[in-house]
Amino acid sequence: MNTRILKAEFDYFAPASIGEALALIAQNGPTARFIAGGTDLLVQMKLETVAPGCLISLMKISELSVLKREKGFLRIGAAVTWDRILAFGSEDRSYPALDDAVRCLGKVQVRRMGTIGGNLCTASPAADSAPALLVYDSRVRLVSARGRRTLLLDKYFLGVQQTARAADEIMTEIRIPAPRPDVGGAFQKLARVGADISKISCAVAVERKGRVCVSCRVAMGAVAPVPLMIRGVPEFLQEKTVTASLLVTAGRMISDEIRPITDVRSTAEYRKQVAGVLFRDVFQKAWTRAGGEP
Ligand SMILES: Cc1cc2nc3c(=O)[nH]c(=O)nc-3n(C[C@H](O)[C@H](O)[C@H](O)COP(=O)(O)OP(=O)(O)OC[C@H]3O[C@@H](n4cnc5c(N)ncnc54)[C@H](O)[C@@H]3O)c2cc1C
């Protein structure tokens, strides 16, 4: 297996504006690809599973590097690296589930080079940012020669490495609504070793009032062809007093809802069994962060 060298030749451009990048993708035909940190795409090129004739780097486009709060949203440019999001999360604790996810994503090299947009554009069912962004009701912004559009992340993932983004569309940013007070969030993943892709992951955002779960959102990674919003449990938990036995039932419902497969990292049976337990752990953490008793 070739994991060290790039054998194929390709053109390389590093435009400074969206307009230039869109012109380049139009001029260079169907084998042209955008590249950000390259931590997914270069691995695929070394493995020779993809062979772009032209790479268009997005890393010099300043619009894709925005990272700020504006008009009720946190705006994260698609080319913002994990390092920058980690530094932001150390100062701004509004999105603890995202912060948890970034802390366990890859190691130094990947966090220095890899971007949040690249993670969502590769669209692995195990993408670690996806469950956290889903529970925060995030949106993605896309631009092409046809114009700009905004999609709910929940509507963006279509299948394994398939999304609603067209090949000539650039993801410009992710927008996360400001969380309401009394919402706690958490994310956790299980992996074979520290720097590995998840065997299974879970994110929870829960709003509490005393011991009552006002509302919650739950999403899981590596349990379906897409990062999965869990549908049944939020309705089940809504306006109920949270108890240990309630969470055991909710965990069982999750194990029943997910449709994992067996692959190189884990078996479908293991994923189903562990999903409920993982959910309970992550829910408890989010609940505690929302000010509830552990
Ligand atoms: C050793 C190692 C460990 C890893 N660990 C993890 C992990 O723990 N968790 C995890 O989730 N992932 C992990 N990854 C995967 C990878 O690092 C992430 O998915 C990363 O966020 C990809 O971002 P990138 O900028 O490097 O993407 P790139 O490789 O540059 O691009 C990925 C894909 O997205 C497209 N693309 C990128 N940006 C845009 C954009 N703005 N608009 C349109 N298309 C775009 C590219 O054309 C390409 O198809 C790991 C990878 C490695 C090599």
Same domain, 150 and 213: no
Q: Which of 177, 205, 238 is the last residue of a domain?
A: 177
Please give the distance, rounded to the nearest whole angstrom, from the Cα atom of residue 123 to the centre of ligand 1: 9
Same domain, 149 and 74: yes
Same domain, 82 and 25: no
Taking only the tens place, the pLDDT of each residue in 124-176 is 999 999 999 999 999 999 999 999 999 999 999 999 999 999 999 999 999 99
Distance CA 204, CA 202 (A): 7
Same domain, 262 and 201: yes
For a substitution probing ligand 1, which of 35, 40, 76 has the most ligand atoms within 8 Å of its CB?
40
Distance CA 41, CA 112 (A): 15
Q: Are 223 and 258 in contact (CB under 8 A)?
A: yes
User: Which has the closest alpha carbon to 142: 113, 166, 160?
Assistant: 166
Q: Which of 125, 149, 177 is the last residue of a domain?
A: 177
Asked whether 33 lines ligand 1 (CB < 6 A), one says: yes
Q: Pick the atom of ligand 1 nearest to 78's CA.
A: 41
Distance CA 190, CA 46 (A): 27
Same domain, 41 and 117: no
Please give the distance, rounded to the nearest whole angstrom, from the Cα atom of residue 234 to the centre of ligand 1: 30
Q: How many domains does one find in the chain? A: 3
Q: Which of 124, 149, 177 is the last residue of a domain?
A: 177
Taking only the tens place, the pLDDT of each residue in 204-215 is 999 999 999 999
| Torsional sign, CA 254, 255, 261, 267 | positive
Q: Pick the atom of ligand 1 nearest to 81's CA.
A: 25
Q: Are 149 and 173 in contact (CB under 8 A)?
A: no
Residue 294, number of CB atoms within 10 A of its CB: 6
CATH number at residue 118: 3.30.465.10
Enter the pTM of the model: 0.96
**In this predicted structure, what is the pLDDT of residue 5?**
84
Copy the structure tokens of residue 211: 């011991």
For a substitution probing ligand 1, which of 41, 59, 75 has the most ligand atoms within 8 Å of its CB?
41
Same domain, 281 and 203: yes
Same domain, 162 and 74: yes
Same domain, 20 and 100: no
Taking only the tens place, the pLDDT of each residue in 230-250 is 999 999 999 999 999 999 999
CATH number at residue 34: 3.30.43.10
Helix (H, G, I), strand (E, B) or coil at 198: strand
Check whether 229 has a pLDDT greater than 80: yes
Check whether 186 has a pLDDT greater than 70: yes
The residue range of the domain holding 87 is 62-177
